[in-house]
Structure 1
């Protein structure tokens, strides 16, 4: 069985694609291959953003680190003077990112 990975952009390209499609009815091409958290080039179809689906252990560790890093960034930005979102919005987003990081830190389901 092949491992399921997470791409280094944490599937942000797909989110941008969906936003462009919804806003402007423009649909950029989806990449056929992506670089994963473990450094491999794999087909996009072999990646997931769902912690229950990612089976590659180095990719799970990468995703955990990245989600914790993003949580720290959101917290810093949310508490900064003049932030575009409130401290409660920032802390809510931080909690969700840390929860997601914890799921990636847990062993993958079998």
Structure 2
């Protein structure tokens, strides 16, 4: 690890997400502000994988703003991606997830 300060550690969390949810938003008037999705924990596998988007809305998300995806398997998945608009989590069918973010 470099001797620089590592600031982004996933200090915030959203637990038991079973439906599409926006867990963080970035104010539009802060051009340099960002949030970061750090890790996704799949708690209940469900029947389909889920995805995360750089978005402040649960609608209109496409592959163009997707920052990560995870399978329908219980486990911990490192995403570690910056988001400039917000973090939208869309679990797969029957999935329950928890996320850590900054």
TM range (shorter): under 0.3
More strand by share: 2
TM-score (norm 2): 0.26
TM-score (norm 1): 0.25
Max Rg structure: 1
Structure of greater relative contact order (alpha carbons < 8 Å, 6+ residues apart): 2
